[in-house]
Structure formats: C-alpha cells, structure tokens
Amino acid sequence: MARNLQKYQHVKRLLKIVFVLLPLLSCGRLLAQPAGFDVFVPISKYMAQGNADNLSAWFDDNLEIAVVSKGSNASKAQAKQIVKTFFESYSPRSFEVNHTAGRDNMKYALGTLKAGGENFSVTIFVSSKGKSYKIQQLKIERL
C-alpha cells in the first residue's frame, strides 16, 4: 500500500510539471517572431531612406518589380539595381504606409512615397518564407 501511495505521489508531481510546462512549451512557436511584429516597419524605413541595399535584403530570389511603368520579373540583384537607380533619380523624402491587409503567410501594403519633388504610389506584396517575409512584388507608380 505504501508503494502505491509513492507511485501516486510521483505521478501527481509529474502531472503538475507537465501542466505547468505544456502551456509554456506551446507558446515557444509564438515567441519565435516578436508579438506585434510588422514586416512593413523596416521595409518602410528603407523606402523612406532610399536605402536600396537594406531594402533588397527583403527581396525574394525572384520578384515582380514595376518602377514608373517599367515592369518585369527580376532576380534579387536586378531588382536591387532597378530600385537603386530609381532612388538616385528621385531622392526619397518620406514614405508612409496608408493601408495593410493580408493573412499570416501573405500580406500587402499600399503607401505613398515622396521623392524627387513628386508623389508615388507604392504597392508591396510579401509572403512568408520560413521564419521571415520576402517581397514578392514591388510597384512604384506616379500619382
């Protein structure tokens, strides 16, 4: 009887540990990406700065890019050069995201870029790639 009581107490302690740790372990996935993380915050920062190098770090290996009516599918390196040339011609002053929508695996943002004394409409589509997002499509059009 004493032996059964010891087994019971051991199982009871084990269950307490499991019930305490289980919720913490299941939250581990959620903690991999900070709560409230908005992928468009860093992207917007680099758009406003005219920083093609840092912006291109968010590009997928291949993406659809359209800058002032010239559109194409491009590699990451080609898209970086297209954006760099645009920023050299139209020095950015500010970028503001006006609207965002989407799901966990795919999101888009619509924004306004003020650059070179003109206003541009910007559309950015991103999709999740593992633990991060990559830009699949970038459009910059005159307003």
pLDDT in tens, 24-76: 333 333 333 454 679 999 999 999 999 999 999 999 999 999 999 888 899 99
β-strand 59-67 against 70-75: which pairing, if any?
Answer: antiparallel
The Cα–Cα gap between 112 and 124 comes to 11
Domain extent for 14:
2-31
- The pLDDT value given to residue 3: 58
Number of domains the chain is built from: 2
Same domain, 65 and 91: yes
Q: Give the pLDDT of residue 99.
A: 96
Are both 52 and 17 inside the same structural domain?
A: no
Cβ atoms of residues 101 and 81 within 8 Å: no
- In terms of Cα–Cα distance, which of 61, 120, 62 is closest to 89? 120
Torsion angle, alpha carbons of 113, 115, 118, 123, to 10: -30
Percent of the chain at pLDDT above 90? 66
| One domain for residues 19 and 71 | no
Whether the Cβ atoms of residue 134 and residue 60 lie closer than 8 Å to each other: yes
Residue, of 7 and 74, whose pLDDT is higher = 74
| Span 100-131, pLDDT tens digits | 999 888 999 999 999 999 999 999 999 998 88
Reported as a pLDDT band with limits 50, 70 and 90, residue 2 is low
